[in-house]
Amino acid sequence: MLKRIVHVSPQLVSFIALLKLNLSKPQRKHVTRIADTVIVGEMRHKTLSALYEMIVDAPDPTNAADCLRISPWAVQDIREPLRAFVMTELIAHANLSGDHTLFVSIDDCLTGKDEGTRHLEAVDFHHDHTKSTRRKAAYTNGVVHVEVRVQLGTLAYSYDHRLYLREKTVRRLNRRRSREQRLRFRSKYNLAREMLAALAQELPTGFQVYVLFDSWYASGKLLKYCRRQGWHVICALKSNRCLDGKQVSQWNRDLKHRRYLHVRLTATDKKPRHYCVRQIQGALNKLPFDVCVFISKRHSRDTRPKYFLCTDLTLSAQAVLTIYQKRWPIEVDNFYLKQALGLGDFRVQSFEAAEKWYAIVYLALVYLQWRLTHDDQANQRRVPATIIRQHRLEHGRQVLIAACTQAIQTNDLQLVLQRFLGCSAPAAPS
C-alpha cells in the first residue's frame, strides 16, 4: 500500500497547539497521528493498524492502542480544552460581528457495529428509530452518543459529546469492575443537561440563546431547564403532547376551519419549499409557561403534519421554522463522523478507551471546522469535504516531494519503493 503521510500536518499541529492539551509528549504525538490519519485514510475500516500503515517510518500500532487503553490520561484532557477553544472562537466572532444570537443543537447518534460484536464495552443493542416502524421496533448493535453543536452566524462548531449506555448495560459492566471503576448510568436527558450546564457556565452574559432539538428530547424537564437559564427552545413535538388539555393532533382536526399561514423555506438543495402552517398558543402539559405550537403541512391535504414548539412568543411561524432548519447541520456532522472519519471503527475493549477514541475523532472534526472557518478558499464552499480533500492533497504533495528527494539523493529506486510502498523494485525485463 502506498504510504500517504510523511509527517503530521503542520496545520493540525498548529491547531492542537492552540488547544494547550494537558498531555505528555508521547501522548500528544499519538493523538495527533490518529487525528491526522482518520482524515487522510480512505479505507473502509479505519483500524489503528490500517491507519498506521499509511505513515512512512511509522511506529508500531500497538503503541497507539496502548495510548488509548492504558496510558494515564482521561477523556477530559481533550474534551475540556476543545470546549474552551470553541467558546473562545464564539466570543471573538461575536465581538467582531456584533451578532450575539447563539443556536445550540442537541441530538443523539447511533453508530452501528457488526452484529457479532460482543466484547467491546461501549457496544450494545440500541433502539434504532430510523429503522423502526409504527408496528415493529428495530434494534441495532452499536454505540450511541449525545452531542451538542453551536452556531453563531457563519461560525459553527461541535461543542461537546457524551457516550450513552443503557442502564442494563451499566449494571452488567459494573459486575466485573471494582467499586472505584464502576460506571454511573446517565440518561440521554442527563447527558444533554450536563453539556448544557457546561455551556451555561462558560458562556458570557449578553447572548440570546435558542436551543434546538427533535421530538425525542422535548421533555418537560429539559424545556424547564432551558427556560431557567433564560434560553428559548425551538423543537419538534410528538402528536400526543397535550396543549391546554388537548392533544395537538386533536387541535389539528379542530382547527380545520382556520386559514393557513404560508411559509417559504429554502431546502439544502437550494430549492424553495412551501408549507401550510397553523399556530396555537397555550400551556403545554406540566409546563408553568405558555408556548406556541405550530402545525406544519406540506400541502393543505397532508394527513401527516409535523408539530413544532417555540417558547419565544414573539417569533412568527416563518422565523421559527427558519431557525429550526439550523438543526440540520448536526446531522451532517454525524454523517462526516461516521462515513469520513471512522467514528465507529474502534477495536478497543474498555469503555474508557472507546471514549478516548471518540474524543480524538471529534478533535479531528473540530479541526476541519476550524480550517473551514479560517480558510478563505474553503469558504467558497462551506462543507467539510472541501477541507478533507485539501488536507489529503497537502499530504500527497509531501509524500511526492519526499520520495523524489530520496530518489535523487540515493539514486536507489528499490530503497524508495521499499520505504514508500513497502515492496522491492520490479524485476528488470528479460
Whether the pLDDT of residue 427 is over 50: the answer is: no
Confidence of residue 380 (pLDDT cuts 50, 70, 90): low
For the stretch 415-418, contacts whose Cβ atoms lie closer than 8 Å and that sit 24 or more positions apart, written own/partner, are none
pLDDT of residue 426: 52
Q: Residue 306 has what pLDDT?
A: 96
Report the distance separating Cα 295 and Cα 306, nearest Å.
Answer: 6
C-alpha cell at 116: 457479532
Per-residue pLDDT tens over the stretch 230-277: 999 999 999 999 999 999 999 999 998 899 999 999 988 888 999 999
Report the pLDDT averaged over residues 347-376.
95
Give tens-digit pLDDT for 154-210.
999 999 999 999 999 999 999 999 999 999 999 999 999 999 999 999 999 999 999
429 pLDDT higher than 80: no
Place of cell 477495536: 347
User: What amino acid occupies position 359?
Assistant: A
**Per the structure block, which three cell numbers stand in for 226?**
432551558
Could you tell me the end-to-end alpha-carbon distance of the chain, in angstroms, rounded to an integer? 26
Q: How confident is the model at residue 430 (pLDDT cuts 50, 70, 90)?
A: very low
What was the pLDDT predicted at 383? 87
Contact 371, 394 (CB under 8 A): no
Q: Of all helices (H) and strands (E), which one includes residue 108?
A: strand 101-112
What is the per-residue pLDDT for 211?
98
Closest CA to 328 of 273, 247, 374, 291: 273
Please determine, for residue 425, whether its predicted confidence score (pLDDT) is greater than 90: no
Is the predicted pLDDT of residue 135 greater than 90, yes or no? Answer: no
Lowest mean per-residue pLDDT among 72-76, 77-81, 214-218, 380-384: 380-384
pLDDT of amino acid 428:
47
Which phi and psi angles does 379 have, rounded to 5°?
-65, -15
Q: Is residue 235 within a helix (H) or strand (E), and if so which, with residue range?
A: strand 232-237
Please count the helices (runs of H) and the strands (runs of E) in the chain.
Answer: 14, 12
DSSP codes joined into one string, 43-95 = SSS--HHHHHTTBTTPPPHHHHHHHHHTSS--THHHHHHHHHHHHHHHHHHHH
Instruction: Encode pLDDT of 357-369 as tens digits.
Output: 999 999 999 999 9
Beta strand pairing call for 261-266 and 246-247: unpaired
pLDDT tops 70 at residue 134: yes
pTM of the predicted model as reported, rounded to 2 decimal places: 0.94
Given a cut of 60, is residue 424 above it in pLDDT? no
Give the residues across from 243 on adjacent strands: 246, 284
The separation between CA 45 and the C-alpha centre of its own chain, rounded to angstroms, equals 19
For residue 92, pLDDT over 90 is answered with: yes
The pLDDT value given to residue 269: 80
Domains and CATH numbers, the chain: 10-72+375-420 (no CATH), 76-340 (3.90.350.10)
Segment 73-94 shows an average pLDDT of 97
Query: Kind and range of the H or E element at 406?
Result: helix 384-410
Q: What is the mean pLDDT of the chain?
A: 93
